[in-house]
Amino acid sequence: MHSSYNSTQSMPKDDDLLCIICGTQKLIQTSWTDRNLGRRFISCPKNGCDEFAWLDPPMCRRSVRIIPGLLKKVNRLEMEAARAKAGEKKMKMYLVASWVVLAAVVFENKLLNV
Report pLDDT for 10: 54
Strand, helix or coil for residue 30: strand
Amino acid identity of residue 74, one-letter, is V
* Global pTM exceeds 0.85: no
- Tens digit of each residue's pLDDT (9 = 90 or more) over 62-86: 988 898 899 899 999 999 999 999 9
Task: Phi first, then psi: give them for residue 91, nearest 5 degrees.
Answer: -65, -40
The whole-number pLDDT of residue 93 equals 95
Write down the domain spans for the chain. Answer: 1-59, 61-114
Q: Which residues of the chain have pLDDT under 70?
A: 1-16, 114
pLDDT at 15: 62
Give the C-alpha separation, 24 to 4, whole Å: 20
Which SS3 state, helix, strand or coil, does residue 39 take? Answer: coil
pLDDT at residue 6 in the model: 43
